[in-house]
Chains A and B, each alone.
Chain A
Amino acid sequence: MTTLLSHLPWAVAAWLLACGLYGVATSRNLVHLVVCLSVLQSSTYLVLLGVGWRTGATAPVVVAGAPPSAGPVADPIVQALMLTDVVVGATVTALLLALAVQVHERAGTLDPERLRRLRG
């Protein structure tokens, strides 16, 4: 079980990356494309999760006055990185959706196959 668990985060991250990439490349709808991009981004959360994890660790919250935890503690720096990742992913998705709204208004379609001409 432990050997499976020590390699499963990487495998799931690679799978999510491949799924998201396939979705972005073969999408016929810009909104669908943006959501697949957010799936692509969630693969990075899994890599960071796997990097900062230590077997048998507890959360990085140190309650003063309680006896100090004898065991290992999960890495707080990597968790701070994950937090930033989640925030930035959400904001970029908002921006891309606004762009999709404008594309539909100007070109009348959300199909990337039919958006051919670049207008200045």
Chain B
Amino acid sequence: MRLGRRRVRPRAVLLAIGIAGLASLLGAALRALPPSGSGASAYGDLLVARSVPERRAQDVVAAVNFDYRGFDTIGEEFILFAAVVGVLTILRRRDDEEDVTARDEDASAARAPPPTSGAVRVLGAGLAGATVCFGLYMATHGQVSPGGGFQGGVVLATAPLATYLAMEVSVFEKIAPRWLIALGEGAGAAGFVALGFLGLLAGRAFLENVLPLGEAGDVLSSGTILAANVAVALEVAAGLVLLLAAFLAEALHRRLRRGAR
């Protein structure tokens, strides 16, 4: 331990020098920045003026995310997809690990956590139902009011979480089986890309808004923005539930095989 502390000293000096240099550069940069509140870009003003007449979308940020700059959102969704794949790969069951089964002495009934009380279970079930409603509302109303696919998807993902917290992990695994959730995530990611190809099939650009636009203020409006919202909500919700399931399985069900090391 003493050796570690002695070795930290030169590193702390280097850190101080580095932070001093960074601070001076930052200070100079911040002095040169225009004051906050002085202005946005002309692009932003243009989009705010054109979003309703061109796309019938009231929420300009959703229009920017899924229509005007939709290609960037495809990239962002694939970052999410790749991160979920990465976590599932890192936390996979290796050759020297095994799952704790019901027959092990570790998992006997005497060592199981006590079941939660009835009040908590009822509250959890009610909360899960309300959360699903709210998540679906937010995901489908992205073009009408603040919200959208990503926010609604994360809210949807908290519904299985609420059931896990209020009940046991076995209930969570029963309502959210791995294969179904993985299918949902793939469908969401592929659905967004398929939406882009819809534009190509209609003879126009990739990801161009080719579905009927409807009336501004309706849920069924702004063409592909609604469909993209739903696809993204599906992908994000399924991805987050997969992450949760992977971490839970790793924490609760996995252990090193006896005699592996």
Q: Are B150 and A87 in contact (CB under 8 A)?
A: yes
By secondary structure, the B interface counts as helix
With A78-B44, A87-B150: A5-B37 Cβ-Cβ less than 8 Å? yes
**A5-B37, A98-B91 known; A64+B64 contact, CB < 8 A:** no
Known: A64-B58, A77-B69, A87-B76. A113 touches B87 (CB 8 A): no
Residues in B neighbouring A73, C-beta threshold 8 A: 40, 44-45, 48, 60
CA distance A2 to B37 in the complex (A): 9
Instruction: Decide if A107 is an interface residue (CB 8 Å cutoff).
Output: no
Interface size on B, residues (CB 8 A): 55
Q: Is A84 a contact partner of B76 (Cβ separation < 8 A)?
A: yes
Chain A residues within 8 Å of B110, by CB: none
B90 close to A79 (CB less than 8 A): no
Interface flags, B145-159, vs A, CB<8A=1, else 0: 110001000000000
A80-B48 contact in complex given A5-B37, A6-B38, A25-B15, C-beta closer than 8 Å:
no
CB within 8 A of B87: which of A7, A83, A94?
A: A94
A-binding residues in B (CB < 8 A): 4, 8, 11-12, 15, 19, 22-23, 26-27, 30, 33, 35-41, 43-45, 47-48, 51-52, 56, 58-61, 63-65, 69, 72-73, 76, 79-80, 83-84, 86-87, 90-91, 145-146, 150, 216-217, 243, 246-247, 250
